[in-house]
Structure formats: structure tokens, C-alpha cells
Amino acid sequence: MLLAPLLAAAVAAGPVCKIDDKRTDELSGLVTTADGYVVVNDGADKASHRKIFYLGKDCSVERTVSFPSRPRDTEDMQLGRDGTLWVGDIGDNGESRDTIALWKLAPGASEPSLHRLSYPDGPHNAEALLITADGTPIVVTKTAGAAGAYVPDGALRAKGTTPLKRAGDVSVPITTTSNPYSFPGRLVITGAASSADGTRVVLRTYADAFEYDVPGGDVLKAITTGTPRQIPLPDEPQGEAVAYTVDGTALLTVSEGSKPELMRYPLPAAGAASPPSADPSPGAPVPAEQSAGTPAPAGASVPAAAPVAESAEEDKPALAPILLVLLAGTGLILGAAAFVWRRRARG
């Protein structure tokens, strides 16, 4: 049981470059290209921020693409197999939107086109978007414990609103990875990405990334029934964006904030990292770790808090390796003392 967090922690991270542009301080979406990276802000009020930013390999802004109308809350991005860039305008912190939207930027197009969608069961906040090999979008909500996976109920409409249908539930394993939002930050899904060959997808929280194999190209089945590999993303300031490198050997992430750093996390081989030992059940209570001053994640739908004592129980497994070391050290000291005593007794 102790090997899972130890193996996962062995995956080291490192910075790639710093995005030093005042217009990119609320980054939430990220994709990689052969030439560099593409990023988007979330919910920006400033017109200068409401753009799609194309970055070079050194993270400098090389060009931008504007939206033809004002987006509401762009949260995630995906690159389709045909080169189409999808932007998920799916954020809804207040859960008050009648519709959400997807923006599609076709290769060579000067501006993206808009497709509106509506949930069948009322508004949801979402920050994760996946695109299947055939171009079907999957929206994963930011609901703690058991997020919803929604897909269009039919082809996307160029005009009007396309209805969505709930296609499954998504729950990520419980971990003990440190993050600014403590326990709730480990449960809410804040971003998603697909590998270039479509054989793997990843969902991330404020604390970890979870990589799923996609046998037969069935992304929906993978994220609703598959067992993921954990990649800790500890203590990122406000980590929401995630993407695969072009060669699929590592994950890239970036946080919101001034001059954010693009981070690289090498991926373990399939089967090398065990999943955490416990899974949250749908509707499971969330320990109130934020009672000590930790803010709840923005827009997260979090169930009623349980007593603080449960939070302490959740964090106990992280202490086990330390206790083992202390016990081993104590044994060595006692053994040495007994040896010295016997030597003196013989003398």
C-alpha cells in the first residue's frame, strides 16, 4: 500500500520556460504543437486577454487569434486529429448559464466558429474538455467526487443549440498530494488532454494528473471505467491546464498567475505507477480541511463537509514512511545500546 505514493513521487518535474506576457495571467487551457504551444485564459474581463495565444518553444507570444464575439468563460483546449483547435467555453462558477459553448478554429481559419450546447439537467461548471478521434467532444464537469461526462446528443449545430446528454460518471482516486486547496483540490477535475496518437488521455485536479489507457479508441469508456496511473503535480499555484508533449513522453502544465512557468512532468511507463489505494464514492463527504483557512476551489461543486477528524485520517497514510524510518532508527539505537552494555558486563 505504501509503494503507490512512493513510486508516484519518483516522477520528477522541471520548468520548461516562463510565459512573460501581461495578457497571459489567467491561463486555463493548453495544447502543444510542433512549433510550440497554444494557450487560453479563463473568464478574462479584459479584451486584451480574450484571445487564443500562440507561443514559440521559448514561451514567447508569437501571434494571437481573436474571438468574433465575447466568450463567457473559456477553460480548456484540445487539438483534433484533423488539426482543428477546440476551445471549451464551459466555465460557469455560478452555475447560471443557459448554454455553454465550443469554439472551433479550423486549420488556416482567421477566427473560430461558435457552437452552443445545453445540459439536460441544469447548469454545471466544467473545466475539462476531450475530443475523440471522430471529433466528438466530451465535457467533464467540476463536481467533486463524481463528475459528469457529457456528449452532444446528435451532430453539432452551426446555428441554434445542440443538446447534451449525460454519458457517464467520472471519479478520480483519492490521493494525499499537497496543493493550495487541500482535500477538495484533490477531487475536482480542472483540465484534460489526449495524447497525439489517441491511445491515452489524462484528467487533472489541482493536485494530480490521472492517465488512462484508451483501448479501441473509446475515450468515454476509459475515463468512466478505467484504472488510471497517478502523476503527482504538487503545490502548483492554481493548476488547471494540462497537455501531452508532442512525443507523448511527458505532461506539460501551467498555472494561473503572473509570469507562469510551463512545467514538464515525465510520464512513468504503463503499469509502473500504481493507482492510489482508495476511490471516492459518488456523493462521498469531503473533509473540511479548509477550516484552517484553506479556500475552496473556485467553482467546485463540493458535497457537505465532514468533521475535521476525517481530514486527519485521510492524511495519515503520508506519515507512514516517516514512522517506519523512526521505528527503524529506534531499533538501531536500542541494539547498539544493548551491545555496549554486554561488552561492559564482560569486562
For 243-267, what is each residue's pLDDT tens digit?
999 999 999 999 999 999 999 999 9
Cell 471519479 maps to which residue? 171
| Top-confidence residue, 42 or 37 | 37
Whether 78 and 150 share a structural domain: yes
H or E element: which one contains 41?
strand 36-41
Cα-Cα-Cα-Cα dihedral sign, residues 115, 192, 90, 77: negative
- Indicate the burial class of 213 (C-beta count within 10 angstroms; 0-12, 13-18, 19 or more): middle
Whether 277 and 323 share a structural domain: no
Closest by CA position to 75, among listed 238, 226, 311:
238
Whether 77 and 139 share a structural domain: yes
Radius of gyration of the chain (CA): 22
What is this structure's pTM? 0.79
- Summarised one tens digit per residue, pLDDT across range 203-227 is 999 999 999 999 999 999 999 999 9
Whether 151 and 114 share a structural domain: yes
Kindly state whether residue 312 falls inside one of the protein's structural domains: no
- Summarised one tens digit per residue, pLDDT across range 88-120 is 999 999 999 999 999 999 999 999 999 999 999
Whether 138 and 199 share a structural domain: yes
Whether 207 and 244 share a structural domain: yes
User: Hey, what's the cell of 267?
Assistant: 510520464
Look up the domain containing 139 and give its range.
3-306
Q: List % helix, strand, coil for the chain (3-state, nearest 5).
A: 20, 35, 45
CA 63 – CA 327 distance, rounded (Å): 58
User: Hey, what's the cell of 63?
Assistant: 501571434
Whether 31 and 154 share a structural domain: yes
The domain total for the chain is: 2
Please state whether beta strands 305-306 and 286-287 pair in parallel, antiparallel, or not at all (unpaired): parallel
User: CB 225: neighbour CB atoms within 10 A?
Assistant: 12
Kindly state whether residue 311 falls inside one of the protein's structural domains: no
Whether 134 and 160 share a structural domain: yes
CA 224 – CA 219 distance, rounded (Å): 9
Residue 205 carries which DSSP code? -
